[in-house]
Amino acid sequence: MSSNFPPLLRIHDITVKPFPLSDTLSTLSRLTVARKGRTFLASLSQRDYFGRFSIYAADPVLTARYRDGNLLLTAADGAATVEKIGFADALHRLLAPMPGSERSATPFGGVAVGYLAYDACRYLENVTLPAARILPTPDLVFQFTDTFIIKDHFDQETYLLLLDTDRSVRSVAEREEAIAAEIAALPPVDLFHPFPDGPVTARAHVLKDQYLAAIRKILGYIRAGDVYQVNYAYPISIESDIDTASLFMQYVQKNPVDFAAYGNYDDIEFLSLSPECFFTLYENVVKSYPIKGTIGRSADPEQDIRLRKQLQSSEKDLAELSMIVDLIRNDIGKVALPGSVKVKQHASLETFHTLYHLYSVVQGTVDPDDRAGLLTALFPGGSITGTPKVRAMEIISELEPYRRGLYTGSIGWAGYGRDMAFNIAIRTIQKTGNLLYYCAGGGIVADSDPELEYEETLVKTRAFFNIFPEVKLVS
């Protein structure tokens, strides 16, 4: 499906130059923190196509924000226009291929980077949301830029990607010189703020009794046949003056994942240590990688093996994953060629520093010219809503006291051509000032025990905040 909207930018030329960096993670994190409007999508495990690349997107030439039916387009010089437009039409406008992107000799002819907040689900289904917000973030932010540093982990190459576009405000030579000068002027890593030696306090914004009551109500809906599974989550906040770049570097070094992201935006800073790929679109094949089932690891090797086997044989976790796989097969099937939807892997084990997860891979063949249709068919991810998806979202809105914001939305990139890759924004911090907001949750099914589910949220929280010496969780 082709978009009827005029292109947001046109690419006149694409320059690719080798650009070796001795410490990609440190350099690109510190570049991102230096100025608003920058994004760093970091891959450390390099699994599949999404995990192949780390992408630094410099200052945008155009930023798109969507909120409450309005698409705000802001150019690099500050000039802004507002369009009253439906969400699906806004996606078609933003995801249309950019003329000239086919010029690139690399997998990237430029990409828009950004996120869709979970709260955007209300435009796609008849779902109301709680009035209270964690943060007043837009429902969507896409940033289009003409300057990138790309690390190809498969080929072990780093290159500078410079686009000459009709929205560029500086020449290719000026931008190449500026980025080299900025890197040379970066302060040493050890000048960034040190981490605290003592414990930090994490405040849960839902009391334990409130959590247990919500889970019991979900179990009542399951027994009544309304739903099979619901993902319930609640927000936790930490107050800290830790420098954001240091925070991100510490996290990704201790928790290497394929789908990490750091965004330094006007409305919000976000740090995502997501282990879950929502979907990739490469050529005409879409793949989704749902995760269900989590267990903490042990420092004792024999106990660690027992925990791994416990997860792999857990009837509850395997049932949860199977239900979500069926949901995603159905979602992909809405836009895929008949007969092309397949489960390529099921209940595979994913190993992380502090956790084990179970995941599957579902794929299908789609029309790459209708990226907006694909995104609206899949969003939000089934692994963080439940099944049936719409009824699960209704229950989430009824029982969760706060809007989720970016949490369980998606962060990633949409190529100026036809590819896309987005994560599921779990294990994600939404940051404003000195406040760090994190959400803990899990899937609830018929045999869920409310007390054990609550304990699992604490395990996830402690594992996520493992960069701190000690975390005291209070309500």
Q: What is the pLDDT of residue 1?
A: 47
Q: What is the pLDDT of residues 88-143, one digit of tens each?
A: 999 999 999 999 998 887 777 899 999 999 999 999 999 999 999 989 899 999 99
Domain-wise residue ranges, the chain: 11-186+197-474
- Structural contact between residues 383 and 358, judged by C-beta atoms closer than 8 angstroms: no
**Which stretch of 77-81, 200-204, 217-221, 410-414 has the lowest confidence by average pLDDT?**
200-204
Of the pLDDT bands very low, low, confident and very high (cuts 50, 70, 90), residue 192 is low
CA distance 31 to 184: 11
Q: How far apart are CA 305 and CA 295, in angstroms?
A: 11
272, 259 contact by CB (below 8 A): yes
CATH code 3.60.120.10 for 11-186+197-474: yes
Q: In three state form, how does the secondary structure of the chain look?
A: CCCCCCCCCCEEEEEEEECCCCCHHHHHHHHHHHCCCEEEEECCCCCCCHHHEEEEECCEEEEEEEECCEEEEEECCCCEEEEECCHHHHHHHHHCCCCCHHHCCCCCCCEEEEEECHHHHHHHCCCCCCCCECCCCCCEEEEEECEEEEEECCCCEEEEEEEEECCCCCCHHHHHHHHHHHHHCCCCHHHCCCCCCCCEEEEECCCHHHHHHHHHHHHHHHHCCCCCEEEEEEEEEEECCCCHHHHHHHHHHHCCCCEEEEEECCCCEEEEEECCEEEEEECCEEEECCEEEEEECCCCHHHHHHHHHHHHCCHHHHHHHHHHHHHHHHHHHCCCCCCCCEEEEEEEEEECCCEEEEEEEEEEECCCCCHHHHHHHHCCCHHHCEECHHHHHHHHHHHCCCECCCCCCEEEEEECCCCEEEECCCCEEEEECCEEEEEEEEEECCCCCHHHHHHHHHHHHHHHCCCCCCEEEEC
Predicted local distance difference test score (pLDDT) of residue 370: 95
Residue 415 has pLDDT above 60, yes or no: yes
Q: What is the rounded average pLDDT of the residues 434-462?
A: 90
pLDDT for 244 equals 79
Token duo for residue 55: 């992408």
Report residue 2's pLDDT band, with 50, 70 and 90 as the boundaries.
very low
Higher-scoring residue by pLDDT: 68, 250: 68
pTM for the whole structure: 0.92
Q: Which residues belong to the active site?
A: 276, 292
Q: What is the pLDDT of residues 207-249, one digit of tens each?
A: 999 999 999 999 999 999 999 999 999 999 988 877 777 888 8
Question: Cα separations (Å) of 291 from 275, 323, 328, 388?
Answer: 8, 11, 12, 17
